[in-house]
Structure 1
Amino acid sequence: MPSLPRPASGPGSRYTARAATTRTRPRPRTNIAALSHILTNRDIWLARMLHEHRVLTTHQIARVAYPSLRTAQRRLRALHEHAVLDSFRPLTQTGSAPEHYTLGPTGTALLAAHAGLETSALGWRPNHTGRLAYSPSLGHDLGVNDLLTRLAAHTHTTPNTALPLWLSERSAARRWGDVIRPDAYAHYRDGNHVLPFFLEYDTGSQPLARVEAKLTGYAAFTAATNTRPALLIHTCTPSREQALRRRLADPARNLKLHVATASADFTTTTPWGPWWMPLQPGAQRTTLTHLAGQWTGLSPAAGLEQTDADTLLTLPVPPLPPVHRRAGS
């Protein structure tokens, strides 16, 4: 099956650039009380998304929350001016990168007020955006978020599909960090088929032995909780995917894990498509829907129930904004 073209930069590329510029803010920080008459539920949802997932590009935000890129850009600029959002634009080898948005100081105060907490409880610092812009994990984080925002966008334009749950790496670590630390956890539904899955977004920076060692943790999790989500491993190159498949095939079978792999050459724009290959001899690439249908015994991970210790900031953020309209409306 032919692969899709690899992008020149960003998620799925071989090159991850560092931040070059940050957008200047023409007005001083705005008090959150003064914004109460202009901030929408979607704005507050976006602030929660950025607190949860740390950084999202203009295109990632537009595809899940706005009818067009221009509409998204206009609203994001307004939120940036009021310091609800902060942003930076990375330097790329060719062309220009989209704006990368993070949570701003006013947005942090807004979320703290909604949760009834002090701003310090969110862990936000004045150098928050700079640390993300120059983080060595920026490309990894963008890749995870690109994969899941494309999946979420697909569900709001495709009948009978949904992405009702998407947890970030940080939220997953808060729930299961003593056993496993996936890069994301999500539920994908298509009709009667539901695929609960952990995601490992492999950039090739870890030795194969370290990736193999993670399987033991996932097996321990399923045994301890009597739940069985799937494990999807996404790689950045076909050669890395083949190396992982050779290394992980026997351990996955012995540990009785449901594992499938894919490469960015296939999943660049359609992660729900027929690009996932179960980790078993003679397997063919198939869709997420078919994975859910062929793997019997799948069940959502334990530890998703709300507890008295949860606040607005620890509860899962819906992958789509409230009262979302379908694309083109």
Structure 2
Amino acid sequence: MIRHATPRPAHGPGSRYTARAATTRRRPARRTSPHPPAASPTATCGSPGCSTSTGSPASPPLLPAHPAPAPVDSFRPSQHGSAPEHYTLGPTGAALLAAHAGVDTTALGWRPSHTGRIAYSPSLGHDLGVNELLSHLAARARTTPGADLPLWLAESSCARRWSDIIRPDAYAHWQDDGLLLPFFLEYDTGSQTLPRVEAKLTGYAAFTTATGGRPALLIHTRTASRDQALRHRLARPAAELGLHVATSSADFTTSSPWGPWWTPLQPGGQRTTLTGLAAHWPGLTPAGGLEPSDADTPLTLPVPPLPSTPEIGP
């Protein structure tokens, strides 16, 4: 079966997009036999056990007239060659989350055009890269004793807090072996010029001055050559501004971003793990005013408490 890529919209993001979860497929007609079904064994239960005997054929289970709607939508990006299936929150999933949180779906930031806007977003590849890197860390934390990712703020959450100073792609806390690494993430795809990336450093220095927090800055690039170009450009200004910066690239961090792939920007810096960075920079401190659960995303909306159980008197 050939599956075509999602067509591009004629006007506006996702205007011609139809979520697959909202479509139905015609089922093939079921062939019927001219002969009645023969008797089949059925279970006849008695005491103390059950035995098998031949009797009337068992009735087939009742099937729903229509399949239950999926909680997610899916699409394949329009690109040359094949693309994997991409999944987003669908209307049913949004309704479930909203009911769980006791709010309307609009309070989640979800709209009917949600999937279409993501499918045709020019930053889709960038957003997927950020989420994949941090999702690997979250998965590692779930399977490794002592490791944890207690805080992860997405780009939109960071913008709501600090957009007047900085606009990182994410802010997170990585914890392992008793050490905490608070860090901003800049996920560099190579689309920005080196001077523009360098200009961001002054914002991170201003953040430290304004808030008193001193997180690390991790810059992740697509290739090792881009990594080297950034290191050559940023080493001097980062040192002058007193920033703790480490870089790496997707040539190393594809499936294990916690591993020994990060190199501090100081001259002679050696590759080390995220935990090694925390040990190398003991003066790091988290951004102020944040709690471990302070991630204002749809999945962390406050859940209304259950009604109190009335006390039963004697």
Query: Do Structure 1 and Structure 2 share a fold, with TM-score over 0.5?
Result: yes
Task: Check 1:233–1:120 CA distance in 2 against 1; reply closer, same or farther (3 A cut).
Answer: same
Counterpart mapping for 1:96-135 below 5 A = 96-135=82-121
Whether the aligned pair in 2 keeps the contact of 1:237 and 1:265 (CA below 8 Å) is yes
Amino acid at match of 1:198: F
Task: Check 1:228–1:136 CA distance in 2 against 1; reply closer, same or farther (3 A cut).
Answer: same
Aligned to 2:202: 216
Aligned to 1:151: 137
The match for 2:258 among 272, 294, 303 is 272
Percent of paired sites with the same residue: 68
Q: Indicate the SS of the match to 1:90.
A: coil
- For the pair 1:285 / 2:282, whether they are aligned, the reply is no
CA-CA distance at 1:91 after TM superposition: 5.0
Task: Check 1:123–1:236 CA distance in 2 against 1; reply closer, same or farther (3 A cut).
Answer: same
Task: Check 1:22–1:125 CA distance in 2 against 1; reply closer, same or farther (3 A cut).
Answer: closer
Aligned to 1:327: none
Q: Give a deviation string over 1:224-263, Cα, whole Å, max 9, x none.
A: 1111111000000111111111111111101111100001
Amino acid at match of 2:194: L
Q: Indicate the SS of the match to 1:266.
A: coil
- For the pair 1:259 / 2:238, whether they are aligned, the reply is no
- For the pair 1:88 / 2:85, whether they are aligned, the reply is no
Whether the aligned pair in 1 keeps the contact of 2:259 and 2:274 (CA below 8 Å) is yes
Q: Give a deviation string over 1:271-306, Cα, whole Å, max 9, x none.
A: 011110101111111111110001021111123149
Aligned to 1:239: 225
CA-CA distance at 1:316 after TM superposition: 8.0
**In structure 2, how many angstroms separate the alpha carbons of the residues matched to 1:212 and 1:111?**
40
Q: Give a deviation string over 1:193-215, Cα, whole Å, max 9, x none.
A: 11011100000001111111111
Aligned-residue Cα RMSD (Å) equals 2.8
Task: Check 1:273–1:210 CA distance in 2 against 1; reply closer, same or farther (3 A cut).
Answer: same
The match for 2:183 among 197, 209, 216 is 197
Q: Indicate the SS of the match to 2:185.
A: strand
> Which has the higher relative contact order, 1 or 2, with Cα contacts under 8 A spaced 6 or more apart?
1
CA-CA distance at 1:310 after TM superposition: 9.3
Whether the aligned pair in 2 keeps the contact of 1:164 and 1:188 (CA below 8 Å) is yes
**In structure 2, how many angstroms separate the alpha carbons of the residues matched to 1:176 and 1:290?**
27
Structure 1: which 5+ residue stretches go unaligned?
1-17, 28-79, 318-329
**In structure 2, how many angstroms separate the alpha carbons of the residues matched to 1:281 and 1:102?**
43
**In structure 1, how many angstroms separate the alpha carbons of the residues matched to 2:99 and 2:163?**
28
CA-CA distance at 1:158 after TM superposition: 1.8
More helix by share: 1
Structure 2: which 5+ residue stretches go unaligned?
8-17, 25-66, 303-314
Amino acid at match of 2:143: T
Counterpart mapping for 1:25-36 below 5 A = 25=22
Task: Check 1:113–1:310 CA distance in 2 against 1; reply closer, same or farther (3 A cut).
Answer: farther
Amino acid at match of 1:167: L
**In structure 2, how many angstroms separate the alpha carbons of the residues matched to 1:147 and 1:265?**
13
Aligned to 1:227: 213
TM (norm. structure 1) is 0.68
Task: Check 1:255–1:131 CA distance in 2 against 1; reply closer, same or farther (3 A cut).
Answer: same
